[in-house]
Amino acid sequence: MERTQIEAVVARFDTAGRPARIAPVGNGWINDTFRVETEGAATPDYILQRINHRVFRDVERLQNNIERVTSHIRRKLAERGTEELDRRVLRLIPTREGKLFHFDGESYWRMTIFIDRSVTHETITPELAELTGRAFGDFQAMLSDIDEGALGETIPDFHNIEFRLEQFRDALESDAHGRAGEMRALSDELLARAGRMCRVERLHREGKLPKRVTHCDTKVNNLLFDEEGRPLCVIDLDTTMPGYVLSDFGDFIRTGANTGAEDDADLDRVDVNMDIFRSFSKGYIDSAASFLTPCERENLPFGAQLLTYMQAVRFLTDYLDGDTYYKILHPTHNRQRSWAQFRLLQRLEAREREMNDFIAGL
């Protein structure tokens, strides 16, 4: 996209200062992101994003969710006496017409304040895991008094395992690309666990497991740190919506505590780093204990199994469907991902008692 086109989009937002430089940042797979640097030290820089509306089909709902969440956190931080609020929570910049996004006829755009002097991490250590757990636990704690019905689902059924299993069974039955036979062993393993994995939805229907406002993408690189290594701000709020806290807990363990890669071809490398698990658990429960119910707390380790199982189901479904959703690097990439996630699931199952005992002892 040409600079003049982006400048025209920037001009639609209620910014301070004149743009001096616009450059793409990051390597996200969903949205296109640009940093807008302004002239002079007195005005802030901004982040401009083109929203992928093929993924987020209801942009108005998406932006309303983010505004509701960030304004609520801002109030909570102000009540604590937190300084530099624009470094501790995202702030949406409205358009000059007062809207939370701009539609240029083809694309949807949004803008936030750029949080300067911030650092992100791509790799995890036990120390970072504890800080990340504390930050996401506090994020949920500050939002625990929002009625989950006040927010909409930005991706319907995103972490609904019953829905994902329905898609999986449909893909097996249609076998559109003739791949079901070669994957029968893995399919049988996954289907044998289906009843157990659906227990979270049953617990919710029984009124035992509440839905809350959850982030749904709890990776260390979705947290900004300051120059001294302290957590600043949770970012990437596109999937912040009603969900189960054990999904947020479990997705971090699935990604952060995996000793291998998500798509590791060498399954012997795939295991659970228990130091990362223990550190994240300690930080998370330290900051989330004020609102967690006994049912939520005791199911946290199961959340790691559930999110790993769900990802194996989703990768295998995409492989059976002909690789239409996830980007692949080679023809059997989704098959490889499926097996790697299943191996991690097996390792989590083997550690279940150890994990439960640790959580119970905190």
Which of 80, 113, 146 is at the close of a domain? 113
What DSSP string describes 66-120? HHHHHHHHHHHHHHHT-S-HHHHS--BPPBTTS-S-EE-SS-EEEEEE---S-B-
| Non-local CB neighbours of 303 within 8 Å, separated by 6+ positions | 244, 245, 246, 247, 248, 249, 250, 251, 253
Which residues lie below 8 Å from residue 285, measured CB to CB, with a gap of 6+? 133, 137, 292, 297, 359, 362
Q: What average pLDDT is seen over the chain?
A: 95
pLDDT (0 to 100) of residue 148: 63
Describe the crossing of helices 184-192 and 300-320 by its angle, rounded to 10 degrees: 150
User: Are 237 and 197 in the same domain?
Assistant: yes
Residues contacting residue 202 through CB under 8 Å, at least 6 positions apart: none
Residue 150 or residue 239, greater confidence: 239
* 94 and 143 belong to one structural domain: no
Q: The domain spanning residue 344 has which CATH number? A: 3.90.1200.10
- Reading the block at residue 317, the tokens are 């479904």
Same domain, 138 and 213: yes
pLDDT confidence bin for 147, thresholds 50/70/90: confident
Looking at the structure, tell me whether residues 93 and 174 fall in a common domain: no
pLDDT single digits (tens) 93-137: 999 999 999 999 999 999 999 999 999 999 999 999 999 999 999
Q: What is the largest CA-CA distance in the chain?
A: 63
Is 262 found in the same domain as 173?
Answer: yes
- Tell me: the pLDDT tens digits for 8-48? 999 999 999 888 999 998 766 678 899 999 998 879 999 99
Residue 118 lies in a domain: no
pLDDT of residue 31: 87
Q: Which percentage of the chain shows pLDDT scores above 70?
A: 99
Quote the number of domains for the chain: 2
Same domain as 245, residue 291: yes
pLDDT band for position 66 (cuts 50, 70, 90): very high
* pLDDT above 80: residue 343: yes
Per-residue pLDDT, 28? 62
The reported pLDDT for the residue numbered 89 is 97
Of 1-10, 69-78, 81-90, the poorest mean pLDDT is in: 1-10
Which of 279, 238, 239, 287 minimizes the C-alpha distance to 135?
287
pLDDT band, residue 206 (cuts 50/70/90) = very high
On whether both 218 and 278 belong to a single domain, the answer is yes
More confident residue, 148 or 198: 198
Last residue of a domain, one of 85, 113, 141: 113
User: Residues in the chain, how many?
Assistant: 362
d(CA 228, CA 223): 14
Q: Rounded distance, CA 58 to CA 120, Å?
A: 29
Least reliable range by pLDDT among 40-44, 70-74, 162-166: 40-44
pTM reported for the whole predicted model: 0.93
Q: Would you state the pLDDT for residue 27? A: 64
154 and 261 part of one domain: yes
Residue 49 in 3-state DSSP? strand
**Has residue 1 got a pLDDT over 70?**
no
Examine residue 254 and state whether it is found in any structural domain, yes or no. yes
In this structure, are 147 and 192 located in the same domain?
yes
One domain for residues 150 and 71: no
Which pLDDT belongs to residue 41?
A: 80
Q: Are residues 93 and 135 in the same domain?
A: no
Residue identified by tokens 């108005």 is 60
pLDDT digits (tens, 9 = 90+) for 269-321: 999 999 999 999 999 999 999 999 999 999 999 999 999 999 999 999 999 99
pLDDT of residue 134: 98
- The Cα–Cα gap between 305 and 259 comes to 15
* Residue finishing a domain among 84, 113, 142: 113
Domain of residue 34 covers 3-113
Specify the 3-state DSSP secondary structure of 195: helix
CA distance 176 to 173: 9
**Residue 179 and residue 98 in one domain:** no
- Summarize the confidence of residues 236-241 as an average pLDDT: 96
